[in-house]
Amino acid sequence: MLSGAVKDKKGEPLPGAGVYVSGYKIATVADNNGRYSLSLKPGNYDILVQLIGFKAFNKNIIVADKALTFDFVLEEDAFQLQEVTIKPDPNREGYIRMFTDFFIGTTPNAQLCKIINPNVLIIDYSNDDAKLTVKTNQFLIIENQALGYRVKYQLNNFEFDNKSRIIYYEGFPYYEDLKGSKGKMKRWAEKRIEAYHGSTQHFFNSLYAGKSKEEGFEINKLIRQPNPNRAPDSLINANIKRLMQVKQALNGTIKIMAGDSLNYWSKQKNAPATIAMLNRQQVNTDTLVKTYNESIKSINFNDVLYVIYKNEREASSYANRIGQSISRPLDMPDYQVSLINLQVAPVYFYENGGTYNPRSMLYEGYWSWEKIADSVPLDYLPPKQKP
């Protein structure tokens, strides 16, 4: 049992404060004396406390097999209390559509999701570095009619870098079940099973249990090396600039002709900077996974992990997206393939499939396509199949 009180800086109780377990469907409300209690299994949890007029407070708490007491102290949020005049931004709707595609997703499930309160989005786009950043100071509410969830998401940070095409976001989601007819509930249950299977949550959960192969995952290594047939960027750019200046000086126009030097260096520029080789020998998970402590495990690796989920095929709406599908050997069926690039070593993860540091990995392929619309709570467990 995790219990305690929610107070302000003066020590006064704050009744009505919401106490949420991030990533789960577990929450409670502080009573008239500011007291709260949550029944939790032993594990590692991010607790989020919210009350209108106060800054959201989050704390990572490790729950063992004994009762734990923790008091939360909230600070008044002057930004929420004062009247704020927001200047109209003619580009705001376009930025919201961009954010929705990159945060909610573009999968079939995403088509059945709706952001209820887009007005809470604090949006900034920098033309200098072509970066879109979004955050909220209160819950962003997403209604997911595909999976039957109402997701309240405290978005700490969202970034889309238009140059690198990398998307990053972090925050604290809380899931609530939507109400629906028996038919809807049945469809939602089926869709939740489908969303969980093959997901990053499923992968790390099975990896923690030592059952990744049994659960349908195969892990290979992708080795990326500089292309030996491509000159360095500095040399390519210098030659293109020099040859363009020469051509322009001679006749005032620039034409790229087959066989000339400018054509050669233009082809060099368009050649891939790296070449990739797939090692199809299965990665030994006993070597890959290390135990950090009784509730945390870790992975550390060289090159790139090439993760194949064999129990499901790619969705047609994904396969038709240009430049997103991962190359595969000709004899491999259209299984779901994702890549894990290590950014910060090692990667720490928990039994429920959650990971410790969102910036520790960069996903490519199927996992980079599936986003919030295809997520389920961390305490979700698919029904056991009958033997």
Mean pLDDT by 10-residue block, N- to C-terminus, for the chain (387 residues)? 93 93 92 94 88 88 88 82 57 93 96 95 91 92 97 94 92 94 96 97 96 97 87 87 74 59 82 86 95 92 96 88 78 95 95 90 95 95 73
**Is the same domain home to 190 and 298?**
no
Report yes or no on 121 lying in a domain: yes
Give the containing element (helix H, strand E) for 235: helix 233-251
Can you give the pLDDT at residue 172? 92
Phi then psi for residue 88, to 5 deg, are: -60, 135
Q: Quick one: tokens of 252?
A: 């005032």
Q: What are phi and psi of 21, to 5 degrees?
A: -100, 110
Rounded Cα distance, 31 and 7, in Å: 12
Same domain? For 264 and 293 the reply is no
Residues 168 and 286 in one domain: no
The answer to whether residues 121 and 102 touch, using CB atoms and an 8 Å cutoff, is: no
**C-beta separation of 371 from 104 below 8 A:** yes
Helix (H, G, I), strand (E, B) or coil at 168: strand
Bridge partner list, 154: 172
pLDDT on residue 273? 80
> Is 371 part of any domain?
no
Is 41 inside a domain boundary? yes
Q: For residue 333, give its domain range.
A: 211-226+276-365
* The CA-based dihedral angle spanning residues 386, 146, 165, 302, taken in that order and rounded to the nearest 10 degrees: -10
Residues 286, 337, single domain; the answer is yes
18 and 152 in contact (C-beta within 8 Å)? no
- How many helices (H) and strands (E) in the chain? 9, 22
Q: Report the pLDDT value the prediction gives residue 170, as an integer from 0 to 100.
A: 92
Say how far apart CA 49 and CA 18 lie, in whole Å: 6
Both structure tokens of 348: 């720490």
Number of Cβ atoms within 10 Å of the Cβ of 23: 23
> What's the pTM?
0.83
Q: Say yes or no: 121 and 68 in one domain.
A: no
Residue 387, in any domain of the structure: no
Quick check: is 74 in a domain? yes
Of 335, 75, 71, 68, nearest in space to 197 by CA: 335
In a domain, 357, yes or no: yes
